[in-house]
Amino acid sequence: MSGSEDRLRDEFEACFGGLAAIGQDPAGGWTRLAWTEEDRAARSWFESEAAARGLTVDQDPAGNLWAWWTGPAGGSGEVVAVGSHLDTVRRGGAYDGALGVVSGLVAVGELAARGVEPRQPVAVVAFADEEGGRFGLPTLGSRVLTGALDPDDVLGRADQDGVTVAEAMAAAGVDPAGFGPDPARVGRLGAFVELHVEQGRGLADLGQPVALGTGIWTHGRWRLTLTGEANHAGTTRLADRRDPMLGLAAAVLAARAAATELEAVATVGRVVVEPNSSNAVPGRVSAWLDARAERDQTLDWLVAAFEAAVMEAAGRNRLEAALALESRSPGVELDPDLTARLAACLRAGGLEPPGLPTAAGHDAASLAAAVPTAMLFVRNPTGASHSPAETADLADCLAGVRALAAVLEDLACR
Ligand SMILES: [Zn+2]
């Protein structure tokens, strides 16, 4: 192994190890919820790692941290940013978010060590509260930054202990006054690239270390209410029953069938049964459908097939059925030109990156609305994520860092 490869490996291991030491949960995994003591420690870790590489750090009004290679100057569309997030879900893995931030810092350090000089401003970003694990709003920092979330609504959101975002930020030493979007900063961005550990088995199955993101799946949540008639489980004849549980059973199977048919995913993970008694035919069942697909139209087809099957089952069982949309995020297409440029960089480095869509949300989705955005995924051998079992091999992580360094050199340094 050459000296520069040794250096890259040592830098990566030291940097990744420093962050992985923060927020280890005694119950297993890593817990760094937004604006907690652990998150605060991770943020100050970021500041010292940036300083050690000669980067200057500032904070935007949405609470995200930016480490600048050349200072935060730069005109419209000139800044090239890479990064991800430092927070985790409860008892999550060591790589989700962390890998993108560490890889960004190590890639910039590697370019500087090789004497490469930026001709455009370069920033490594650590987005605040990506997971939504505490306040229930995922990609909070990036969506407030771009103006997709109302800052006043966000500040008043409370966690399960009744602590609001404003109070939590203040307790973590960040003044919530002025919390809000930063259109000028977003306008200075010319490209954003998020490297992330893959949260599925796509790369493992393809035998490749690094992939390019093609897009982020559209995602929706619907509430299904099935109303029948509560009655005695012993004395009500089968022919006389209006049992909404039969409608639910048909609905769960219909969701699975439609998702299989359309190569999408659908989950019924939450059910409320009334009266929820073991010796009564239920009177009402509410269930939540979480469905995700690569394209908006596919999701429309999935929900239409689900609804048709549910209505048919409701008719057969003499139920009233209502399906209501609770939330929907559109699919995000990553920038094809930027992605093609990344592909050329990676091929020049000897990789053959496949394109992979993702069904998970990312800060890249928030940025993509305003800035040409691309994603890199690093192989996850088991596909486990949001779990202590999440992992990536060192060699693949280093391939990701080298890919990110090549991309930064191409976009900002020549
Ligand atoms: Zn993540």
How close is the Cα of 194 to the center of ligand 1, in Å? 10
How close is the Cα of 223 to the center of ligand 1, in Å? 26
Q: Quote the pLDDT of residue 207.
A: 96
How close is the Cα of 83 to the center of ligand 1, in Å? 11
How close is the Cα of 242 to the center of ligand 1, in Å? 44
How close is the Cα of 97 to the center of ligand 1, in Å? 4
**Cα–Cα distance, 35 to 26 (Å, whole number):** 19
Q: Quote the pLDDT of residue 72.
A: 57
How close is the Cα of 217 to the center of ligand 1, in Å? 15
Q: Quote the pLDDT of residue 330.
A: 87
Q: Quote the pLDDT of residue 327.
A: 82
How close is the Cα of 140 to the center of ligand 1, in Å? 12
How close is the Cα of 202 to the center of ligand 1, in Å? 17
How close is the Cα of 58 to the center of ligand 1, in Å? 22
How close is the Cα of 9 to the center of ligand 1, in Å? 23
Q: Map the chain to HEC letters.
A: CCHHHHHHHHHHHHHHHHHHCCCECCCCCECCCCCCHHHHHHHHHHHHHHHHCCCEEEECCCCCEEEECCCCCCCCCCEEEEEEECCCCCCECCCCCHHHHHHHHHHHHHHHHCCCCCCCCEEEEEECCCCCCCCCCCCHHHHHHHCCCCHHHHHHCECCCCCEHHHHHHHCCCCCCCCCCCHHHHHHEEEEEEEEECCCCHHHHHCCCEEEEEEECEEEEEEEEEECCCEECCCCCHHHCCCHHHHHHHHHHHHHHHHHHHCCEEEEEEEEEECCCCCEECCEEEEEEEEEECCHHHHHHHHHHHHHHHHHHHHHCCCEEEEEEEEEECCEECCHHHHHHHHHHHHHCCCCCCEEEECCCCHHHHHHCCCCEEEEEECCCCCCCCCCCCCCCHHHHHHHHHHHHHHHHHHHHC
How close is the Cα of 131 to the center of ligand 1, in Å? 7
How close is the Cα of 234 to the center of ligand 1, in Å? 50
Q: Quote the pLDDT of residue 71.
A: 63
How close is the Cα of 319 to the center of ligand 1, in Å? 41
How close is the Cα of 39 to the center of ligand 1, in Å? 15
Residues surrounding ion ligand 1 at CB below 5 Å:
96-97
How close is the Cα of 98 to the center of ligand 1, in Å? 8
Q: Quote the pLDDT of residue 328.
A: 86
How close is the Cα of 88 to the center of ligand 1, in Å? 8
Q: Quote the pLDDT of residue 1.
A: 54
414 residues of the chain, pLDDT tens digit each:
578 899 999 999 999 999 999 999 999 999 999 999 999 999 999 999 999 999 999 999 999 999 999 865 678 889 999 999 999 999 999 999 999 999 999 999 999 999 999 999 999 999 999 998 899 888 999 999 999 999 999 999 999 999 999 999 999 999 999 999 999 999 999 999 999 999 999 999 999 999 999 999 999 999 999 999 999 999 999 999 999 999 999 999 999 999 999 999 999 999 999 999 999 999 999 999 999 999 999 999 999 999 999 999 999 999 999 999 988 888 998 999 999 999 999 999 999 999 999 988 899 999 999 999 999 999 999 999 999 999 999 999 999 999 999 999 999 997
How close is the Cα of 171 to the center of ligand 1, in Å? 24
How close is the Cα of 270 to the center of ligand 1, in Å? 24
How close is the Cα of 122 to the center of ligand 1, in Å? 21
